[in-house]
Chains A and B, each alone.
Chain A
Amino acid sequence: MLKYILKKILAMIPMLLLISMIVFFGLQLTGVDPINFMVSPDVLSANAANVEALRDSLGLNDPVIVQYFHWLGKVVTGDLGYSFDGSSIAETIAVRLPYTFELAGWSLLLSAIIGVGIGILSAIRQNGIIDYVGRVLAVFGQAVPQFLVGIILIQILSIQLGWFPAGNRVSPGAASAFIDAVQHLFLPVLTLTIGMVAVLMRYARNTTLDVLNSDYIKTARSKGIPEWKVYLKHGFRNAMKPVLVIVLFRIPMLVGGSVVIESVFSYPGIGLTMTNAITSGDYPVVLITTLIIAAAMLICSFMVDVLNALLDPRVRLGE
């Protein structure tokens, strides 16, 4: 098992390198002067005369490949460079990344519980009321653009009723950091959750149906054990694996969604940082945010593999 995990971790490294290369060289094509990646603009303008010398000493006149490794070396050691407005990217990320984790994490947790729960219930009582209502909601949840859901929620819960702030993450001078966080997170989390629940519900329902139609459920019934045991012990345990995988597989969708939702709620996370950077052509920031998101995705798919292995005796026992 340990060997399996190690193997998976090692496999991630070339993937990350490849992605960083693609992003780096891709952004080179835009023709933006990469000196801004490494030196604060203040320093740059103060020493305009020495720029050429600086370029030489920094290796910017070297071939692109050499520059890439130079940059990579810095990123690995934690020096993420500077944004066009002069701020340290590392500092910005340190503040904003946790915000996005909060947003995505809570949405994932809530939507997994709600979506999978409704999905399983509607599979057990197929064509029952929960199943019917769930399916209608799923259809609408997938048809309304997520940002529109956000706008509608802002309109009703924030503007009309005034229950929640319409944007941002922290209010200055809030009495309790916890209540402040709940207030600011509620609407964006709700928006993302609605979209995810719609998708997860459908998957969870179909997976559970598949499992409940399988032969070993009949075997379980032939033992004369009560129905709740049939569902919980034999049904749920087997449906869990594909459902968990689906939940984790949906994380990219969640992150993609949170990029848009952060924009709707002007929620200062990584997604909004990236959006703004692209609009303003702030390439160092685009580079780093893209890499962070790609790395997060790789870690997620790594977790999918490990969880899969833990839940399946065939993989766990290394066969």
Chain B
Amino acid sequence: MESKELILEVKKLNTTFVSDKKETRIVKDVSFAVKRGTTLAVVGESGCSKSVTMNSIMRFLGRNAKVEAESIRFTAKRADGTAEPHQLEGIKNPNGAEMRALRGPQMSMVFQDPMSSLNPVYKVGDQVAEGLIQHTGISKKQAREQVLELFPRLGIPDPESRIDCYPHQFSGGMKQRVVIAIAMICNPELIICDEPTTALDVTIQAQIMELLKKLQVENGKSIILITHNMGLVAEMADEVCVMYMGRVVEFGSLEDIFDHPSHPYTKALLRSVPVLGLADGQKLETIPGITPNPADLKPGCEFADRCAECTERCRGANIPAYEIAPGHRVRCVQFDHFPEVD
């Protein structure tokens, strides 16, 4: 796999939060990569730092967060087709000019809750146009034209009148389309979707997911989809990154994860998904226990306390990831006969 094909490559990302002079490491040695034009799904239970990981890459975290990484390489494509790599880990100011130049035209983010992601006091059209005007310097009128063009593509009907509405006049699904419009307007290559449909009802969920899939296929976008819905993963993803308590426990292609789930946590996640045609009397399983508090974690595998296959060795100090098939990595001592990878 050539690095040119990777739009985003993250190596050993660590995010630490400081509160009351106590440091808590939330994201631990996270490594993953996204291929250009594909979808990477990041899955895991609530509170396993999926969002924090993405916010660390976009540098949206507050002053009390410390983001360190061996490498975060974002490779943009110039108009002539040559690659233009950016090393994000070296950027000091999270909201400085370098980071800002990337946000919008190169990478953007769709947030979880459309209800609160839009500024209530401005018209939606102006909110969408704002980023475009910022990065291209075109006039307000031209920007408006482009917004009018974009809205129907995102399934917002009657753009001429909708563009001058305020967010409170939109339904949740429509708001999320506007949020996607804000993310799309500068035509970025990478879109990070942070549980884009969790706050919406089921029929709208399907519409939004379809929309994202269409954008990806038609425009060759790369998407990182954060979700805890395994069904969505099966539908959308090319590759899957399973996270638990701030660590990547398994990473592989969709087939790797669904056909050969290897980490006990991945298996448990898959067993807890309802499948059509569940045999009579077959119970849907749950994962016992709850995610522990990151502040009082013990050394060793974070999942050990809830794991059915736990052994003494799981409590040991350092557990590396093992590559059990090309591109399929698992962080579990069961696989120590395979080669270790970073």
Q: Closest approach, in angstroms, between the C-beta of B52 and any C-beta of chain A? A: 13
Task: Say which residue of A221, A311, A319 sits within 8 Å of B121 (CB atoms).
Answer: A311
Chain A 190-224 residues near chain B, CB threshold 8 A = 214-216, 218-224
A214, A224, A314, A317 pick with most chain B CB within 10 angstroms: A224
Q: Tell me whether A33 is interfacial, beta carbon within 8 Å.
A: no
Q: How far is the CB of A245 from chain B (nearest CB, A)?
A: 15
Tell me whether B120 and A221 are in contact (CB under 8 A). Answer: no
Q: Is A85 an interface residue (CB 8 A)?
A: no
B183: which A residues are within 8 A, CB to CB?
222
Q: Is B10 an interface residue (CB 8 A)?
A: no
Residues from 152 to 172 in B contacting A, C-beta threshold 8 Å: 166, 168-169
Residues on B with C-beta less than 8 A from A317 are: 166
Binding site secondary structure of chain A: helix
Q: How far is the CB of A99 from chain B (nearest CB, A)?
A: 38
Q: Closest B-chain residue to A227, C-beta based?
A: B95
User: Which of A225, A227, A312 lies at the interface centre, i.e. has the most chain B CB atoms within 10 A of its CB?
Assistant: A225
| CB-based contact B130/A314 at 8 Å | no
Contact residues in B for A319 (Cβ distance below 8 Å) = 168-169
Interface residue count for B (Cβ, 8 Å)?
Answer: 33
The A/B interface has a contact count, at CB < 8 Å, of 80
> B309 CB to closest chain A CB, in angstroms?
39
What is the CA–CA distance of A238 and B121 in the complex, to the nearest angstrom?
7
**A234 contacts the other chain (CB 8 A):** yes
Q: Provide the residues of chain A in CB contact with B134, threshold 8 Å.
A: 223-225
Q: B105 touching A224 by the CB < 8 A rule?
A: yes
Q: Which residue of A lies closest to B118 (CB)?
A: A216
Tell me whether B111 and A224 are in contact (CB under 8 A): no
Instruction: Tell me whether A74 is interfacial, beta carbon within 8 Å.
Output: no
Give the nearest-CB partner of A127 in chain B: B63
Contact in complex: B103, A221 (CB < 8 Å): yes
Contacts of A234 in B (CB 8 A): 119
Cβ contact of A216, chosen from B60, B102, B117, B186, cutoff 8 A:
B117
**Chain A residues within 8 Å of B169, by CB:** 319
Q: How far is the CB of A247 from chain B (nearest CB, A)?
A: 18
Residue from the set A218, A237, A238 with the largest chain B CB neighbour count within 10 Å: A218
Instruction: Determine if A313 is an interface residue (Cβ-Cβ < 8 Å).
Output: yes
Question: B127 — which chain A residues lie within 8 A by C-beta?
Answer: 219
B63 touches A219 (CB 8 A): no
Number of interface residues of A (CB under 8 A): 24
Is A276's CB within 8 Å of the partner chain B?
A: no
Tell yes or no: B108 within 8 A of A by CB. Answer: yes
- A218-B168 in contact (CB<8A): no
Closest to B107 in A: A222
| Contact between chains at A223 and B121 (CB < 8 Å) | no
In contact, B168 and A314 (Cβ under 8 angstroms): yes
Q: B315: which A residues are within 8 A, CB to CB?
A: none
Q: Is the CB of B120 within 8 A of A222?
A: no
The reply to whether B121 and A225 contact each other, CB–CB distance below 8 Å, is no
C-alpha spacing A101/B182, complex, angstroms: 48
Q: Known A215-B116, A218-B111, A219-B111; judge A226-B100 contact (CB<8 A).
A: yes
Instruction: Kindly provide the distance from the CB of A293 to the nearest chain B CB, expressed in whole angstroms.
Output: 34
Give the residue name and chain of the A residue nearest to B100 (CB).
Answer: A224
- The answer to whether A218 and B105 have CB atoms under 8 Å apart is no
Are B121 and A312 in contact, CB atoms less than 8 angstroms apart? yes
Q: Does A126 contact B (CB under 8 A)?
A: yes
In-complex Cβ contact of B118 among A219, A221, A223, A226 (8 A): A219
Nearest CB in chain B: distance from A165 CB, A: 46
Q: Mark B177-211, 1 if CB is under 8 A from A, else 0.
A: 00100110010000000000000000000000000
Given known pairs A224-B134, A225-B130, the reply for A216 and B168 (CB within 8 Å) is no
Which B residue's beta carbon lies closest to that of A223? B131
Kindly state the separation between the CA atoms of A216 and B118 in the bound complex, as whole angstroms. Answer: 5
Q: Which residue of A lies closest to B129 (CB)?
A: A223
In contact, A313 and B103 (Cβ under 8 angstroms):
no
Residues of B within 8 A of A225 (CB): 100, 130-131, 134
Q: How far is the CA of A214 from the CA of B167 in the complex (A)?
A: 15
Q: State A317–B121 Cα separation when bound (angstroms).
A: 12
Contact between A313 and B166 (Cβ–Cβ < 8 Å)?
yes
Q: Is the CB of A223 within 8 A of B103?
A: yes
B104 touches A219 (CB 8 A): no
CB distance from A222 to the nearest CB of B (A): 5
**Chain A, 79-100, contact with B by CB distance < 8 Å: what is the 0/1 string?**
0000000000000000000000
Question: Within residues 102 to 151 of chain B, which ones have a CB less than 8 A from any CB in chain A?
Answer: 102-105, 108-109, 111, 113, 116-121, 127, 130-131, 134-135
Q: A219-B118, A222-B58, A227-B95 are in contact. List 8 more A-B contacts (CB 8 A).
A: A126-B63, A216-B117, A219-B127, A222-B111, A223-B130, A224-B101, A225-B130, A313-B166
Q: Could you tell me which A residues sit within 8 Å of B by CB distance?
A: 126, 214-216, 218-227, 230, 234, 237-238, 311-314, 317, 319
12 sampled A-B residue pairs with Cβ under 8 A = A216-B116, A219-B118, A221-B103, A222-B103, A222-B108, A223-B131, A224-B104, A224-B105, A227-B95, A311-B121, A317-B166, A319-B168
**B residues within 8 Å of A by Cβ?**
58, 60, 63, 95, 99-105, 108-109, 111, 113, 116-121, 127, 130-131, 134-135, 166, 168-169, 179, 182-183, 186
The 8 nearest A-B residue pairs measured at CB: A223-B131, A224-B103, A224-B104, A215-B116, A224-B100, A216-B119, A313-B166, A215-B117
